[in-house]
Amino acid sequence: MTEKKDVIRATDAEAIRLAKTLLRTARFGAIAVIEAESGSPLASRVGVATDLDGTPLILISGLSAHTAALLADPRCSLLVGEPGKGDALAYPRLSLMCRARRLEKGMPEHGRAERRYLNRNPKAKLYVGLGDFSFFRLEVERASLNGGFGKAYHLSRADLITEGPVTEALAASEQRAMDHMNTDHREAIQAYARHYAKAAGEGWTLSGIDAEGLDLLCGDDARRIFFPQPLASAQDLRRVLVDMARTAKEAVD
């Protein structure tokens, strides 16, 4: 009797980086919930952003069926990863098993979630203030990465979520730093995009800064750039951005 081959690969740094990239660059995802009335699975599309630690954020209407389902049973999963031309199954995707938690208005984490969500999805300003819309954090418990044919991995919460004092410290300074870069250092951002993300075109802006890297946006195109090393402290951010800009400009020139 032949031994059954294990199709799950050992999780390595490359797989973790791919998973984090898929999550940080997602514009939308498919959320699967449990319908309260029938107990049946229900899938729907939602807009997606991430909190500083990498936790997915969604903004959904209280009138939707998936909102009612999450309030009755917070267990859910979120699928992210966009296909391109040809076989959709040849492109990487990430499935996250989560528990949804609604954020209460007036609390600091709600304000941070709203800020980061709108930085990532600016068109949501049209309905974010409507009374029936709520932000949810999808607290990650584990995940499955399909990086393409024959590239399956299991990931833990620790593989995807970056917790610690640096993340908490950045929460207070992120927007100020991002506004400064987007206003006064647009050339540096374009250099980041060209050199580190291999992105063409102009008009790139920062949409997020966290302890591990930068999120860039140009229209509907999103890119993820990782720092050479995770920040040891929030005070290291300026030095790292300056060093990266110098390296990128020298390479571009």
- Per-residue pLDDT of 76-119, as tens digits, reads 999 999 988 899 989 999 999 999 999 999 999 999 999 999 99
- Do 60 and 173 belong to one domain? no
Same domain, 62 and 1: yes
Whether residue 36 is found in the same domain as residue 143 = yes
Q: What is the pLDDT of residue 1?
A: 46
Whether residue 184 sits in one domain with residue 119 = no
CATH code for the domain in which residue 126 is found:
2.30.110.10
- The dihedral through the CA atoms of 161, 171, 98, 151 has a sign that is negative
> Does residue 3 have a pLDDT over 60?
no
The first and second tokens of residue 60, run together, are 């959904």
Q: Is there a single domain that holds both residue 100 and residue 178?
A: no
Residue in 142, 155, 173, 151 with CA at minimum distance from that of residue 235? 173
Domain closes at, from 115, 135, 161? 161
Q: 27: left (phi > 0), else alpha (psi -120 to 50), else beta?
A: alpha
- In contact, 17 and 226? CB cutoff 8 Å: yes
C-alpha triplet 36, 30, 107: angle, nearest 5°: 75
User: What is the pLDDT, as a whole number, of residue 252?
Assistant: 73
Residue type for position 107: M
Residues 26 and 145 in one domain: yes
- Do 173 and 210 lie in one domain? The reply is yes
Is residue 4 pLDDT above 60, yes or no?
no
Q: What is the pLDDT of residues 168-210, one digit of tens each?
A: 999 999 999 999 999 999 999 999 999 999 999 899 999 999 9
**Residue 146 · residue 79 · CB < 8 Å:** no
For residue 42, the 8-state DSSP code is E
- Same domain? For 65 and 176 the reply is no
**Of the candidates 199, 204, 175, 32, the residue with the CA atom closest to the CA atom of residue 117:** 175
Length reported for the chain: 253
Task: For residue 129, give both structure tokens.
Answer: 């203030």
Query: What tokens appear for 222 in the block?
Result: 């999103």
* Contact between 136 and 101 (Cβ < 8 Å): yes
Model pTM score: 0.95
CATH number reported for the structural domain that contains residue 182 in this entry: 3.20.180.10
Q: Which pLDDT does position 84 carry in this prediction?
A: 87
Domain count, the chain: 2
Among the candidates 109, 143, 161, a domain finishes at 161
Residues 105 and 46 in one domain: yes
For residue 242, the SS3 value is helix
Please choose, from the candidates 181, 33, 28, 11, the residue with its C-alpha nearest in 3D space to the C-alpha of residue 97: 33
The per-residue pLDDT for 61 is 97
CA dihedral for 139, 120, 52, 104, sign (positive or negative): negative
**145 lies in the same domain as 183:** no
d(CA 238, CA 231) in angstroms, rounded, equals: 10
Q: What residues make up the domain containing 42?
A: 1-161
Residues 110 and 215 in one domain: no
3-class secondary-structure state, position 47: strand
**Are 28 and 121 part of one and the same domain?**
yes
Q: Among the three residues 113, 141, 161, which one is the final residue of a domain in this structure?
A: 161
CB atoms under 10 Å from CB of 231, counted, come to: 21
Q: How far are the Cα atoms of 48, 98, 155, 181 from residue 141, in angstroms, in the given order?
A: 17, 5, 9, 34
